Amino acid sequence: MISQINHIYPVPSFQIDRNLNIRSASQEAWDMFERTDSLMRMIDSKSCLKAKQMLQPSNGKVSFEINMIDKKGQILLVDCYAGWTSELHGEIMILEKNKEMSNILSQFQKLRTRLQETDMELLKEKERLQQVLMENNMLSAPFIKINDDIGLIPVFGIIDQQKITAIMDNVLKSAYEAPTRELIIDFTAVNHMDREGWRGFTEMFQSLKLLGKHIYMTGVQPKHAHQIHEFNIQTDIIFKPSLQDIISKFVK
């Protein structure tokens, strides 16, 4: 039979024996915890060992922090203050952790969750942009049939390895399927190119030649000419000054 302690302090407290059985308890203790005759039953399993080690008569007066389970089944972080009047008789007072601290901790957790959500949004956006970029790349070298003899491929944007990888299949497939022998690649709308991009481009060129195409390149701007020279990659591409010139020559 557990008797009641009548402290003047409004805090949960228990009188216990060395096996941590409850001998008496304050009203506040039963307001906070489910009625039981063993202190261990109201301690969170991960804190049990700590509580057992701390609550030994030989330790004398101790204060420590553990997780307990309240009436609602919620885990409660508490400070415990305990001591022993004899080998058989101990007292323990339980104070719930300062609410301010748990408020700060939950605030902290909310901030972390928000950062995580933002991170996820950014990741999704990045993936969407990568997809858009890929589609954009694939569309930036369309094959246009001018007549049965002439095909035109205007290239848009920058020329880098990624772009070449994206357009290569489409260009080769369209060139293979089209009957046109003369193929004009127009660089008017090309902004920037790098060495790897140009290397990939000359390789695509060789493949087009193997398909039996006569290839001409137009729209090369002075900055491209300079870069092509600098890259120093061997090529036998035939350059023509303008798209208008070459089309009028063929159409004549």
Partner 1 sequence: MTKHVEKLAEQFLAGDDRGAIEYISTFLDRDAGMVELYDSLITPAMYYIGKLWETNRITVADEHLATATCDFVMTYLEQNRGPEGDTPGINKVMLFGVEEEQHYIGLKMAATIFRQNGWNVRYMGPDLPLQHAETAVNAWQPDVIGLSVGLAYRLSKLTETILSLSKMQHKPSIIIGGRVADKFKIPIGASNQIFIAKDLSNLDHWMKHSYKGGYSIDITN
Residues of this chain that interact with partner 1 (CB under 8 A) are 45-46, 49-50, 53-54, 62, 64-65, 77, 97, 101, 105, 108-109, 112-113, 116, 119-120, 123
Helical segments of 1-97, H only:
27-32, 48-54
The residue (of 100 and 177) whose beta carbon lies closer to partner 1 is 100
To the nearest whole angstrom, how small is the minimum distance from the Cβ of residue 174 to partner 1? 26
To the nearest whole angstrom, how small is the minimum distance from the Cβ of residue 228 to partner 1? 27
The residue (of 24 and 67) whose beta carbon lies closer to partner 1 is 67
Contact 80, 54 (CB under 8 A): yes
In total, the chain counts a number of residues equal to 252
The residue (of 21 and 67) whose beta carbon lies closer to partner 1 is 67
Element (H, E) at 247: helix 243-251
The residue (of 63 and 221) whose beta carbon lies closer to partner 1 is 63
Short-list 56, 58, 54, CA closest to 66: 54
Q: What is the DSSP letter of 133?
A: H
Q: What is the DSSP letter of 56?
A: -
To the nearest whole angstrom, how small is the minimum distance from the Cβ of residue 191 to partner 1? 22
**Percent helix, percent strand, percent coil in the chain, to nearest 5:** 45, 25, 30
To the nearest whole angstrom, how small is the minimum distance from the Cβ of residue 162 to partner 1? 9
